[in-house]
Amino acid sequence: MNRISRVLLMAGLAAAASFAQGPFGPLTSNAPPDPATVVQNQVQRLTNLLGLTTAQAAQATTIFTNAQNAIAPLQTSRAQAQQALPAAIQSNTTATIDQLSSTIGSVTGQILDIQSKADAAFYAILTADQKTKLGTGFGGVGPGFPGFGPGGPRR
């Protein structure tokens, strides 16, 4: 193997290794993390960012766990409707397309409602200093912490 081939091989291996990294470190499976892990990671990020007290972290864990538990069946319903939609499109069944699209929209709205109320409950337990640290971006608008609202990464 010549020098150029070795360099290209090493570059390819480095690229492959970087693609195997997920937002929480190396990917160990294709399955998303369980809700408890999602909440734990979220509360840890918020603790690091805002300096949450132990009591605030416990409250945040409860708030976000309750939201995750309420969202789980809705996500299942939305996923089922999204999986059925391509078949309805291919068969040009307008009534089914209308029904599935309506279901997806309604369920997405319900999920957003639950997440936004959880974000509001969390925001209410913060001190004035923590709210300042969080910034004006709370709710997904502006340059604040990008973990809340409809555009945040926890969605």
> pLDDT by residue for the chain (155 residues), tens digit each?
555 544 444 545 444 444 444 444 555 566 777 889 989 999 999 999 999 999 999 999 999 999 999 999 999 999 999 999 999 999 999 999 999 999 999 999 999 999 999 999 999 999 999 988 887 655 544 334 445 544 444 43
Phi, psi of 81 (to 5 degrees): -65, -40
Is residue 150 in some structural domain? no
pLDDT at 135: 78
Instruction: Look at residue 34 in the predicted model and tell me its pLDDT.
Output: 84
Res 147: pLDDT: 52
The three-state secondary structure class of 3 is helix
* Per-residue model confidence as pLDDT tens digits over 139-154: 544 334 445 544 444 4
Helix axis angle for 54-90 and 35-50, nearest 10°, is 130
The answer to whether residue 51 sits within a structural domain is: yes
- In a domain, residue 49? The reply is yes
CA pair distance 39, 109, nearest whole angstrom: 21
Q: Is 26 helix (H, G, I), strand (E, B) or coil?
A: strand
DSSP assignments along 52-64, one per residue: --HHHHHHHHHHH
Owning domain of residue 56: 34-134
Structural domains counted in the chain: 1
Q: At what angle do helices 54-90 and 94-124 cross, to 10 degrees?
A: 170
Per-residue confidence (pLDDT) for residue 144, from 0 to 100 = 41
Q: Is residue 45 part of a domain?
A: yes
Task: Output the pLDDT for position 71.
Answer: 93
Per-residue pLDDT, 96: 94
How many CB atoms are closer than 10 A to CB 16? 9
- Whole-structure pTM value: 0.68
Angle at 77 between CA 70 and CA 21, to 5 degrees: 80
Q: Which secondary structure element, helix H or strand E, spans residue 31, and what is its range?
A: none
- Taking alpha carbons only, the member of 105, 31, 3 closest to residue 97 is 105
Q: What is the pLDDT of residue 134?
A: 84
Domain assignment of residue 68, yes or no: yes
Q: Say if 122 falls within a structural domain.
A: yes
pLDDT (0 to 100) of residue 1: 52
Residue 8 in domain: no
Residue at 149 is within a domain: no
Write down the pLDDT at residue 2: 53
The vertex-143 CA angle with 40 and 148, nearest 5°, equals 30
